[in-house]
Chain A
Amino acid sequence: MPAIDYHAVAPELILSGALIAVLCVDLFLPEKRKAWNSTLTALGVLGALGALFTLVGERRTTFGGMFVLDSFSLLFKFLFLAVAVVVVLMSADYLNDSLRSSQGEFYFLLLSSFLGAMLMASARDLLMLFVALEMVSVPAFLLAGFRKTDPRSTEAALKFFLIGVLSSAVMLFGMSLIYGVAQSTNLAEIGAALKARGDDPLVTASIMLILAGFGFKVSAVPFHFWAPDTYEGAPVPVAAFLSVASKAAGFAGLLQVAFLAFGGQTTAWGPGLAILSVATMTIGNVVALTQTNIVRLLAYSSIAHAGYMLMPLGVVAGQGAAIQRQAFAASLTYILVYSFMNLGAFAVVVAVGRKRPWNLISDYEGLSEREPGLALAMLFFLLSLAGIPPLAGFWAKFLVFGAAIDSGTAWLAAVMVLNSVVGLYYYLSVGAKMYLRPAEDPSPIGVPVPLVVAIAVALIVVVAVGVFPDFFNHFAPGATLIAL
């Protein structure tokens, strides 16, 4: 009976305790005091964050090698908890307005999903990976349908559910075959077994099935259809959560599986992912051009960004360890930077949505007169998403671009630059609406304090990383997974 390292799982335990506490306390809270739920949730997340700080620099393994805490998982856990804080701040106001009475369930589901994301960062076993993935998705299905009286929201939940469950079934089939071939579910052992086995159509097929499953989670073309519908129908803070935390969790799992378990098979999945990434960024950007709803615009933009994040994985086929490390670091940095700029943009959407609940792009006309600060923050987020030099998004794109050039796949880099130009057009057209058009109704919107804090956190990260691009290098997690 192997002992469990309780310190290594302390952040997850605190989060679990917090989510059970939220559910129980909510049952006995009177209607007037429902806002306490958000305070309790925030305390739980901060507690987990505190526990995580005691683990910095550690390397621990527990649950028989299923759960590994290293700098890679620490980095992702910090990201998830930071995102959790911002999403809770965004939801506090959103829920007070419309969904007051069911706050307890909302925070319970949100925390469950974040718990799954935390586990995902540490999962080094197919079983753990599967459980973590379901833990992220299943509460998210319910969160997407949380506005129960709105048929758009229930439709969003239905689509998300059917596609999500289908994708995990496909992935599981791949996992079952890999288990049979490698005779183990541990990612490192699978990596060793597959390397010894060499080329095998069965292995290639199972890798394809597993990667297709992850393709759904990170909404890569051709598995992206659920994303815009679900984001539009879901409550906006949930859309922010889905486009950031759920996607980052998908990438955390994808990076581990690709480099730990399938590290010896790069020629089997590399070219496929390169094509996938080109299709994803092109379709995402082109369809985004025609959108009239800001949430759908951001949804297609997040699909395009998934393409940029996948690109470094597409260039590693047959490359040496140095290129693999560079590609890994590029993809990782992109995920981190993207999370904060997208989160910030969604926080602004929540703020504007207070007055205009339909979230049309035309609602942003004249925003600079109504709320100059909000408009400026949105402009920063949009420019960062477009990849304009002094901001964080530029450095992320720069690293991905560099990985493509250094690996000798210049055509991928060229496609990426073309796509960035298309992206710049639609981001700037929203910016132009905010600054150049007159406002229909010049009255200020009024941004509550939690939202201001949420936007400020995201803005500080975006600007800080832009000015000090070394910021994320301090974590230097690239080398931990690629032991070549």
Chain B
Amino acid sequence: MSLAWVLTLGALLFSLGIYGVLARRNAVLVLMGIELMLNAVNVNLIAFDAWIRQGNATGQIFALFIITVAAAEVGVGLAIVLLVFRRRETINVDEVNLLKW
């Protein structure tokens, strides 16, 4: 299997994530779209790492950092979503519109 196939998978995942972010109105689903995008990055990094075959495995370490930071981000994000839900009884991003212009 060539590198191009894996990169295509990464690009498809990334596009799917962007579609999710743009099309979904529920904040939690938007968050899931962003997770897809981050996983696409991980796929890319691991594929390049296996292709480059350096001793210090930079790509794999990078992917580990992305996984941990993504977990922290989701934690913060869910906390904020929960807070918004308690105040507004909605997590639809179109209805969260007190601040304009």
Contact = CB atoms under 8 A, between A and B. Distances in A.
Q: Do chains A and B touch in the complex (CB under 8 A)?
A: yes
Interface of A: 126-127, 130-131, 134, 138, 141-142, 145, 148-149, 151-152, 154-159, 161-162, 165-166, 169-170, 172-173, 175-177, 179-180, 183-185, 228-229, 232-233, 287, 290, 296
19 contacts: A134-B72, A138-B73, A142-B76, A151-B88, A151-B98, A154-B84, A156-B99, A158-B80, A158-B93, A161-B80, A162-B30, A166-B37, A169-B38, A172-B38, A173-B41, A175-B41, A176-B62, A177-B44, A180-B52
Given A127-B62, A162-B93, A155 B98 contact: yes
A127 B40 CA distance: 17
Contacts of B96: 155, 158-159
B41 A176 contact: yes
Contacts of A290: 101
Contact of A161 (B38, B52, B69, B77): B77
Chain A: interface secondary structure?
helix
Interface in B7-53: 7, 10, 14, 17, 21, 27, 30-31, 34, 37-38, 40-41, 44-45, 47-48, 51-52
Residue with the greatest number of chain A CB neighbours at <10 A, chosen from B44, B45, B80: B80
B99 A173 contact: no
Given A151-B87, A173-B37, 9 more contacts: A138-B69, A154-B83, A155-B97, A162-B30, A162-B34, A169-B41, A176-B10, A179-B48, A228-B101
Given A151-B98, A159-B96, A169 B37 contact: yes
A159 B96 CA distance: 9
Contacts of B30: 162
Residue with the greatest number of chain A CB neighbours at <10 A, chosen from B14, B59, B62: B62
A229 B38 CA distance: 26
B76 A166 contact: no
Interface in B42-90: 44-45, 47-48, 51-52, 54, 58-59, 61-62, 65-66, 69, 72-73, 76-77, 79-81, 83-84, 87-88
